[in-house]
Amino acid sequence: MTVFHSASEAETEAVAERLAQGLRAGDLVLLYGDLGAGKTAFVRGLARGLGADPDEVSSPTFTLVQEYGARVPLHHADLYRVTTRLDVQELGLEEAAADGAVVTVEWADRLAGDPPPGAICVRISDEGGDRRRIEVTGESGHSTR
């Protein structure tokens, strides 16, 4: 596990941008954290690091999954409004990963079962004010230091 501390949304995005440098097609990034913790800001940083326009990233709360073009396509799922536990297969995320995308899932705690093998888990905790603790577990093939 690697732990980062962020004092602003921009710093949260920068942590994610560094992580994105090592992401490969097929990687699954699961995001955990309370409402307002910074999960979407983290995805904006991933988008920037993958070469997508971070300004296009918004929470896909009503569409469940959004896609962004980048050096490696980025699929961004948000399960906030999902009321039952879902399987990754139900969302088509395994197919997206198999087709060469990096897949991110906000509110990953709403997925059924344990995280799939090889998933990168990101837990963002509010430490008061704009401060966040970001714990990253799993292998992206690149050090974020």
Residue 80 CA to residue 132 CA, distance in Å, equals 20
Burial class (CB in 10 A: 0-12, 13-18, 19+), 64: middle
**Rg for the chain, CA atoms, rounded:** 14
Taking residues 4-15, report their average pLDDT: 96
CA distances from 96 to 74, 78, 139 (A): 9, 15, 19
Query: Average per-residue pLDDT in the chain?
Result: 84
Residue 142, pLDDT above cutoff 60: no
At 78, is the pLDDT very low, low, confident or very high (cuts 50, 70, 90)?
confident
Cβ atoms 106, 82 nearer than 8 A:
no
129 or 94, greater pLDDT: 129
Taking residues 19-45, report their average pLDDT: 93
Dump pLDDT digits (tens) for 110-134.
Answer: 888 888 888 999 999 999 999 999 9
Determine which helix (DSSP H) or strand (DSSP E) holds 31, and give its type and residue range.
strand 28-32
CA distances from 144 to 32, 57, 86, 91, 99 (A): 18, 22, 30, 29, 25
Domains of the chain: 2-137 (3.40.50.300)
Residue 61, pLDDT above cutoff 90: no
pTM: 0.86
At 3, is the pLDDT very low, low, confident or very high (cuts 50, 70, 90)?
very high
Cβ atoms 12, 129 nearer than 8 A:
no
70 or 20, greater pLDDT: 20
Share of the chain above pLDDT 70, in %: 86
